[in-house]
Structure 1
Amino acid sequence: MTFLMGPALLFCPADRPERYQKAADRADAVILDLEDAVAPAEKQRARGAILAQLGAGEGPELDPSRTIVRINPAGTEEFAKDLHCLAHTPYRTVMLAKAESAAQLEALEGYQVIALCETARGILNAPAIAAAPNVVALMWGAEDLLATLGGTSSRMADGGYRAVALHARSAVLLAARAFGKEAVDSVYVDIPDVAGLAVESADAVASGFGSKACIHPAQVAAVRAAYAPSAADIEAAQALLSAAAAANSGVFAFEGKMIDGPILKHAEATLRRAAQNG
């Protein structure tokens, strides 16, 4: 199984059905959130909203290939209710909140799972989680992680991540890629700070994250822009690969730089992103 959604994944509270289609139209995929975005007293209504919009005739149904449902943590009463709801829908991609072990994935057989690692145990067990056959991607959660650690914020005063958050981010990325799975970068909670989001999204691209989650429609454009190579980037990658073909050598010089296999893979990745965002 391969995760093909992205790069901009937009959360939408599941108890706000009037926003479903708007979110889907704005982003590459919509995440209907049954967990943190919905108050405990409203969760049953949120599940009802997901069911009600199927074939209601009030508007187009969401495309299952571009729809993710974030479900509550495994082992909770809400988790069981979420699965009962999903069994009556065409949605087969779920995001498991607070994923902590490979064993939790067994209850999700038949679903493509984005495992959201946002606790200390989830981060430490990220490799085992990534190895689960029904996991297609890993995502990390900054604020939930710091909350479970007893911290107060994932970021420092300058907006950069604290060391523990950076460690978790790297651990989830490495675990996902080690097992051939996609990696999704965490949300950027300062909605007005589009410049900061752009910088963080560019870093996500350069680091190897295939997608980034958004919490507001206004964030989608910045994420998409970061993942879409510029014309200059595409031209440089093409020139480098052409030079490599002409050199017919494992290592060669190009524009004053030593070029070898890893550098060529960077160029190939740029062209792949260009094709995906074309």
Structure 2
Amino acid sequence: MIGGTPAPRCPALLFCPGDRPDRFDKAAAAADTVILDLEDAVAADRKARAREAVVPALRRLDPSRTIVRINGVGTPWHDDDLAALAGSPGTVVMLPKACDVAAVEALAPRPVVALCETAAGVLAAPALAAAANCAGLMWGSEDLVADLGGRPGRTPTGAYPPAVEEARTRILYAARASGVLPIDTVLVDLADADLLRADSAAAVTAGFAAKACIHPSQVPAVREAFRPTTEQIRWARDVTAAAGTASAVFRFAGRMVDAPVLAHAAEILRQAERHG
């Protein structure tokens, strides 16, 4: 639970086309949470077929590990998606191109992951995250670059351009400020394993709780990045134990330890338990 609203399992969220029911169980088994996609991964002439595949699958898939990305507000398929999902009111939905808090709240009491992938969505992130039924915020790099009128690509060091990095940071701040799940964007370059590891490590360091994937092969790298190392876990346990017999501020392994340091240690132990 995050902020009283059920949150998706972390850290690896895997998109799966809604019109490929043969992949549903494999995707669910591979990832921590599967995102059955009725939007971008499904052609317009297959939307109805995707809904017909997704709805019965929700009866057997673990609801705590399943999200359905519906089509956006104002599209010809949005209302049909909601009507099809009426029998599964507890299923978390991902709302693409989210930019209006009223659109998120209109889905209540259903939990919603708001996908911020436009300039308007990034600027509206604090209001979206504050909606009572918001379970998480995710940002979408590819659609955002297109909306900004920019060009795909990274800086020579592999980092996002400043305008895109700012969007990533805004989503993280908005999510954490409201106590909802911050989810990092997908990497569409399936061949660049080094960039995936770097992106995942950067997401962990910044404070994201999860990262979305578009192929099962990406899941192990994401899980590895989010799992604390043996050395980090040992340090967290030792410093926490030392705090029980020390004053408010003390020295441990050559480092000053106070309340913020102990908070870092507690978070490492929480992550270790969460990620096994």
Q: 1:270 maps to which residue?
A: 268
Matches for 1:42-121 after TM superposition, within 5 Å: 42-53=46-57, 61-89=60-88, 92-121=91-120
Deviation sequence 1:50-73 (CA, Å, 0-9, x none)? 135466xxxxx2112211000111
Relative distance call for 1:54 and 1:129 in structure 2 (3 A) is: closer
| Stretches of structure 1 lacking an aligned partner (at least 5 in a row) | 56-60
Matched, 1:37 2:41: yes
For residue 77 of structure 2, give the secondary structure of its aligned residue in structure 1: helix
- 2:41 & 2:199 partners in 1: Cα distance? 23
- 2:235 & 2:253 partners in 1: Cα distance? 11
For residue 246 of structure 1, give the secondary structure of its aligned residue in structure 2: coil
Instruction: Give the drift of 1:172.
Output: 0.5
Q: 1:255 maps to which residue?
A: 253
Contact 1:97/1:115 (8 A) holds in 2: yes
Instruction: Give the drift of 1:275.
Output: 0.6
Q: 2:140 maps to which residue?
A: 141
With normalisation by structure 1, the TM-score equals 0.93
With normalisation by structure 2, the TM-score equals 0.94
Q: 1:58 maps to which residue?
A: none
The CA RMSD measured in Å over matched residues stands at: 1.5
The aligned amino acid for 1:133 is A
Deviation sequence 1:36-90 (CA, Å, 0-9, x none)? 11111211111111135466xxxxx211221100011123221111101111346
Contact 1:143/1:154 (8 A) holds in 2: no
Q: 1:8 maps to which residue?
A: 12
- 1:4 & 1:87 partners in 2: Cα distance? 20
For residue 203 of structure 2, give the secondary structure of its aligned residue in structure 1: helix
Relative distance call for 1:52 and 1:271 in structure 2 (3 A) is: closer
Contact 1:92/1:110 (8 A) holds in 2: no
Q: 2:201 maps to which residue?
A: 202
- 1:130 & 1:191 partners in 2: Cα distance? 30
- 1:121 & 1:36 partners in 2: Cα distance? 19
**Which of 17, 21, 24 is residue 21 of structure 2 equivalent to?**
17
**How many residues end up aligned between the 2 structures?**
272
- 1:173 & 1:117 partners in 2: Cα distance? 11
Relative distance call for 1:212 and 1:164 in structure 2 (3 A) is: same
| Stretches of structure 2 lacking an aligned partner (at least 5 in a row) | none
Contact 1:146/1:154 (8 A) holds in 2: no
Structure 1 stretch displaced more, 256-265 or 182-191: 256-265
